[in-house]
């Protein structure tokens, strides 16, 4: 058994869709990124890579490679599973954002990740927290995610 830790942060900007956990969430801003900017999937992917002794997501899918421009992060997550061959025991994650409110989307995100990873949804936990109005996240300028993954190689 091995544990991996992942973190990601992206700036919120006008003119992009907000994609979290592989689903489009109605909001007037989206996450800036070379791919779809899905910070949840990026943090989970980094955690899986880390637990497997691999380099980070940016090493495997560099942001200067046109193949990954606007790509769904779920496609990258499937590639990460091929690279690592990891068997996921569980995923625990926290999305930190001031807005939008995510409670109504959590189960759909968990189901989307479970389907992508081909694991039971009960193996995935996603929580959403605010930053209580403090800092860059509290001002609504970005979204961060922390993820911990337990795998069996």
Residues 76-86: tens digit of each pLDDT: 999 999 999 99
Instruction: Report pLDDT for 153.
Output: 76
Closest CA to 141 of 99, 111, 89, 113: 99
Q: Which whole number is the average pLDDT over 101-129?
A: 98
82 token code pair: 């091929």
What domains does the chain contain, in order, with CATH numbers?
2-152 (3.30.1330.50)
Instruction: Report pLDDT for 22.
Output: 98
The mean predicted confidence, pLDDT, of the chain is 97
Q: Which whole number is the average pLDDT over 52-69?
A: 95
Closest CA to 39 of 130, 152, 149, 143: 143
88 token code pair: 């996921």
Helix spans in the chain (H): 39-51, 57-60, 73-84, 106-117, 135-138
Residue 10 pLDDT exceeds 90: yes
Instruction: Report pLDDT for 80.
Output: 98
Q: How confident is the model at residue 5 (pLDDT cuts 50, 70, 90)?
A: very high
Using alpha carbons, list the distances in angstroms from residue 105 to 48, 59, 82. 23, 30, 27
By CB atoms closer than 10 A (0-12, 13-18, 19+), residue 86 is: buried
Residues 11-28: tens digit of each pLDDT: 999 999 999 999 999 999
Q: Which residue is it, tokens 């790509």? A: 71
Q: How confident is the model at residue 101 (pLDDT cuts 50, 70, 90)?
A: very high
Instruction: Report pLDDT for 94.
Output: 98
Residues 117-153: tens digit of each pLDDT: 999 999 999 999 999 999 999 999 999 999 999 999 7
Q: Is the pTM of this model over 0.85?
A: yes
Contact 7, 145 (CB under 8 A): yes
CA angle at 4 for the pair 67 and 20, rounded to the nearest 5°: 50
């Amino acid at each position: 058994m091995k544990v991996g830790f992942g973190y990601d942060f992206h700036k919120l900007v006008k003119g992009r869709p907000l994609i979290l956990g592989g689903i489009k969430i109605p909001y007037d801003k989206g996450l800036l990124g070379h791919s779809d900017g899905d910070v949840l999937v990026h943090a989970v992917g980094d955690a899986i890579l880390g637990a497997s002794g691999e380099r980070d997501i940016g090493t495997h899918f560099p942001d200067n490679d046109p193949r990954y421009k606007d790509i769904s992060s779920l496609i990258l997550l499937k590639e990460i599973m091929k690279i690592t061959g990891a068997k996921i025991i569980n995923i625990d994650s926290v999305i930190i954002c001031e807005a939008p409110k995510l409670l109504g989307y959590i189960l759909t995100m968990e189901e989307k990740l479970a389907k992508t990873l081909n694991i039971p949804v009960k193996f995935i936990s996603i929580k959403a927290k605010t930053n209580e109005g403090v800092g860059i996240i509290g001002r609504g300028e970005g979204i961060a995610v922390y993820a911990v993954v337990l795998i069996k190689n």
